[in-house]
């Protein structure tokens, strides 16, 4: 009798599947490295899902009926936060800033003065969708002086610009790996201050025995000394990818990674302006996010058609039409992670020039290339 043997293909170890278990010390070590990246001594929880998970968890943990939240809206994520805040029973004061700029610390301080009952502030640091970035240091000082908790969505700023969680007084600092870190999208993290833990512990409505529960992780993992079993099986592949991405940031140096993103932003803005028919949506350079540049399509040109025409010229460039109400006029160029490079920016400008030309608009491709190159050099020299 012959017994069929498994083929050698099924027996040989698979690099993604046949992995040894991820140990508790290794999981804890990755958390510590994320804490260093966030410049915080607060507890850092790695959350096992895309960054919307810790963002929602932070709001549902810290906010309850009777809370008054100041929700700073400088892009689409602020709108999402407003919905969660209201569903937690909070009274929400929306502070809406035009997508062409940033919110100022003075405006935040004014809103806090007008509503002394505010006890929670939600803020997005950099907005990949609208291409702007907010001055967190000054806003953080105003929030701290008022005594409210500050939640910061730093998904699109971590590794693209300085992020000083403790120095800025950020109580709930949320990051994801998929933007400037060039890492995985399936794990994220939140740094939680002692003040935030106090608020969460006192909140009878904070999620418990739930995938959104920060308290479950605190009790079962952080306070248990991080040597016990994790509350859920660790997301093995994503954790290894996060570790590899931290290794790569360490090898390049965080300052160099940040400088590369700043240069990519400056070069994209200068190059787009030099094309002649595109405008930068974000007016002032200081308000421009290092991860993405939003451009205004020329009059009479639909941004969605321009994006499609640019992608016909070069399908590899990180250009997309904006989502939502601005889709007809706003074009988005991403320049984060592997796209924040000296070669991707000119390739993107060249594709935009081809797209503009195809649609009958003016485009000076060589002026754009030269302006981008000079801006890149100047940004690195700063
Ligand atoms: C990218 C990003 C996130 C993550 O959300 P996705 O919609 O999954 O990309 C959250 N907040 C900000 C500010 C982001 O830029």
List, run by run, the mean pLDDT of 10-residue segments along the chain (382 residues).
Answer: 56 89 94 98 97 98 98 94 98 94 97 98 96 97 98 98 98 98 97 98 97 96 91 92 98 98 98 96 96 96 97 98 92 96 96 97 96 97 87
Distance CA 107, CA 118 (A): 14
Calculate how far, in angstroms, residue 12's C-alpha sits from the geometric centre of ligand 1: 38
What is the CB neighbour count within 10 angstroms for residue 194?
A: 11
**β-pair type (120-124, 149-153):** parallel
Q: Which residues line ligand 1 (CB under 6 A)?
A: 50-52, 77, 124, 127-128, 153, 155-156, 176, 179
Distance CA 285, CA 283 (A): 7
Calculate how far, in angstroms, residue 7's C-alpha sits from the geometric centre of ligand 1: 43
pLDDT given for residue 229 in this prediction: 81
Supply the residue whose CA is at minimum distance from atom 7 of ligand 1: 52
pLDDT given for residue 349 in this prediction: 98
Calculate how far, in angstroms, residue 50's C-alpha sits from the geometric centre of ligand 1: 9
Place of tokens 């906010």: 63
Distance CA 195, CA 207 (A): 18
Specify burial of residue 152 (Cβ count, 10 A radius: 0-12, 13-18, 19+): buried
- Whether the CB-CB separation of 58 and 207 falls below 8 Å is answered with no
Check: CATH 3.40.50.720 for 24-251?
Answer: no
Helix 105-114 to helix 136-146 angle, to the nearest 10 degrees? 20
CA 124 to ligand 1: nearest atom = 13
Place of tokens 């919307």: 52
Mutate to test the pocket of ligand 1, among 153, 187, 190, 293 (most ligand atoms within 8 A of CB): 153
**β-pair type (279-280, 292-296):** antiparallel
Calculate how far, in angstroms, residue 182's C-alpha sits from the geometric centre of ligand 1: 13
Mutate to test the pocket of ligand 1, among 128, 132, 320 (most ligand atoms within 8 A of CB): 128
DSSP letters spanning 49-107 = S-THHHHHHHHHHH--TT-EEEEEESSHHHHHHHHHHHHTT-EEEEEE--TTS---HHH
Supply the residue whose CA is at minimum distance from atom 10 of ligand 1: 155
pLDDT given for residue 5 in this prediction: 57
Distance CA 153, CA 189 (A): 11
Calculate how far, in angstroms, residue 368's C-alpha sits from the geometric centre of ligand 1: 29
CA 127 to ligand 1: nearest atom = 13
pLDDT given for residue 17 in this prediction: 92
Place of tokens 């995985």: 184
- Whether the CB-CB separation of 158 and 114 falls below 8 Å is answered with no
Q: Phi/psi at 122 (nearest 5 deg)?
A: -110, 135
Exposure string of 348-367, with b = 16+ CB inside 10 Å and e = fewer, is bbbbbbbbbebbebebebeb
Distance CA 4, CA 71 (A): 64
Can you give the residue ranges of every domain in the chain? 24-251, 254-381
pTM summary value? 0.95
Mutate to test the pocket of ligand 1, among 131, 136, 176 (most ligand atoms within 8 A of CB): 176
Calculate how far, in angstroms, residue 265's C-alpha sits from the geometric centre of ligand 1: 18
Distance CA 333, CA 349 (A): 10
Calculate how far, in angstroms, residue 189's C-alpha sits from the geometric centre of ligand 1: 13
Q: CATH class for domain 254-381?
A: alpha beta
Residue whose C-alpha is closest to residue 50's, from 173, 187, 159, 178 = 187
Place of tokens 């993992």: 221
Mutate to test the pocket of ligand 1, among 47, 49, 52 (most ligand atoms within 8 A of CB): 52
Distance CA 314, CA 32 (A): 40
pLDDT given for residue 356 in this prediction: 98
Calculate how far, in angstroms, residue 60's C-alpha sits from the geometric centre of ligand 1: 18
Specify burial of residue 274 (Cβ count, 10 A radius: 0-12, 13-18, 19+): buried
């Amino acid at each position: 009798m012959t017994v069929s043997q498994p083929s050698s293909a099924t027996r040989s170890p698979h690099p993604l599947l046949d992995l040894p278990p991820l140990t508790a010390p290794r999981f804890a070590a990755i958390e510590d490295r994320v804490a260093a990246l966030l410049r915080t001594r607060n507890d850092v929880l790695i959350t096992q899902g895309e960054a919307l998970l810790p963002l929602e968890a932070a709001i549902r943990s810290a906010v309850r009926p009777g809370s008054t939240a100041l929700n700073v809206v400088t892009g689409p994520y602020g709108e999402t936060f407003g919905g969660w805040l209201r569903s937690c029973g909070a009274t929400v004061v929306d502070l809406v800033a035009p997508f062409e700029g940033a919110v100022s610390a003075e405006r935040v301080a004014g809103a806090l003065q007008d509503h002394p009952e505010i006890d929670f502030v939600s803020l997005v640091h950099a907005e990949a969708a609208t291409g702007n970035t907010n001055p967190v240091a000054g806003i953080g000082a105003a929030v701290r002086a008022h005594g409210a908790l500050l939640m910061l969505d730093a998904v699109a700023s971590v590794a693209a610009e300085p992020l000083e969680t403790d120095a800025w007084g950020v109580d709930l600092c949320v990051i994801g790996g998929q933007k400037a870190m060039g890492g995985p999208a399936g794990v994220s993290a939140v740094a939680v201050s002692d003040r935030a833990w106090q608020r969460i512990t006192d909140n009878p409505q904070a999620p418990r025995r739930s995938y959104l529960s920060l308290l479950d992780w605190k009790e079962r993992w952080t306070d248990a000394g991080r040597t016990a079993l994790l509350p859920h099986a660790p997301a093995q592949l994503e954790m290894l990818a996060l570790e590899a991405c931290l290794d790569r940031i360490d090898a390049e140096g965080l300052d160099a990674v940040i400088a590369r993103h700043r240069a990519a932003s400056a070069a994209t803005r200068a190059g787009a302006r030099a094309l002649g028919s595109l405008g930068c949506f974000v007016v002032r350079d200081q308000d421009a996010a290092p991860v993405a540049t939003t451009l205004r399509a020329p009059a009479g040109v639909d941004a969605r058609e321009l994006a499609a025409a640019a992608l016909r010229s070069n399908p590899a460039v990180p250009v997309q039409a904006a989502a939502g109400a601005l889709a007809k006029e706003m074009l988005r160029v991403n320049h984060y992670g592997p796209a924040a490079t000296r070669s991707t920016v000119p390739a993107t400008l060249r594709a935009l020039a081809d797209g503009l030309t195809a649609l009958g608009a003016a485009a000076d491709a060589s002026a754009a290339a030269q302006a981008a190159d000079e801006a890149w050099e100047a940004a690195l020299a700063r």
